[in-house]
A and B are shown apart, each in its own frame.
Chain A
Amino acid sequence: AQSVTQLDSQVPVFEEAPVELRCNYSSSVSVYLFWYVQYPNQGLQLLLKYLSGSTLVKGINGFEAEFNKSQTSFHLRKPSVHISDTAEYFCAVCRAGGNTGKLIFGQGTTLQVKP
């Protein structure tokens, strides 16, 4: 079975500062990894995903994440945040190669960007 731990429930940061949202996962098999964003009163939207290959993955809105197999981590980063990045961010994992698409989500991290 897979599990996901998001290490910070809330991350306050000032506008134009860099940010890192941390995600660790646990799995005995290979996995696919995802980051989703949820804006208020909306559903989740895909930010980026890691399937295989290059460990640095770039997504929408200037976000990127790095897959680290030895540390079982998939941290999300952005070099300069905007007020509009204020949202809930979810890390998710599913078993690689399977066709179920059953995602295991972390508890979420609230990113609060202050002016």
Chain B
Amino acid sequence: DAGVIQSPRHEVTEMGQEVTLRCKPISGHDYLFWYRQTMMRGLELLIYFNNNVPIDDSGMPEDRFSAKMPNASFSTLKIQPSEPRDSAVYFCASSLRGGSQPQHFGDGTRLSIL
């Protein structure tokens, strides 16, 4: 079975540019999560969706960040404009039914903003 697929794996861009991170969850999973991982702050939940609907976006750092899930098999996380402090590894995860079910993580996108 294919796992959670994220693209790109690495992104290097200049400050001020728009960045789009992509995620394809495991087929049949109805929850999708976006996380950010840094040395200073650890693993932070940014936003999560249930059945394509955003449920909790309280972790989104500011208005420069936005996330969408137009259908059950695709989600995007956008940063516009990007800043050096956005440099981090961004993970997407999906799960079936949530709660007691484990989350399955992609391999992440390593983002560097120069």
Q: Using CB atoms and an 8 Å cutoff, list the residues of chain A in contact with chain B.
A: 32, 34, 41-46, 49, 51, 90, 94, 96-103, 105-108
Contact = CB atoms under 8 A, between A and B. Distances in A.
Contacts, number: 65
Given A43-B91, A43-B105, A43-B106, A100 B98 contact: yes
A43 B55 CA distance: 23
B34 interface: no
Given A43-B105, A49-B102, A99 B97 contact: yes
Contacts of A101: 31, 33, 48, 95, 97-99, 101, 103
| Nearest 6 pairs of A and B residues by beta carbon | A101-B98, A43-B105, A46-B102, A44-B105, A105-B43, A107-B42
B48 A100 contact: yes
Contacts of A100: 31, 48, 50, 55-56, 98-99
Contacts of B98: 98-102
A32 B95 CA distance: 15
B4 interface: yes
A112 B48 CA distance: 32
Given A43-B4, A43-B93, A101-B95, A49 B100 contact: yes
Interface residues of B, number: 25
Contacts of A41: 107-108
A98 B104 CA distance: 18
A105 to B, nearest CB: 5
Nearest to A94: B99
A17 to B, nearest CB: 27
Given A43-B4, A46-B102, A102 B42 contact: no
Contact of A105 (B42, B56, B95, B108): B42
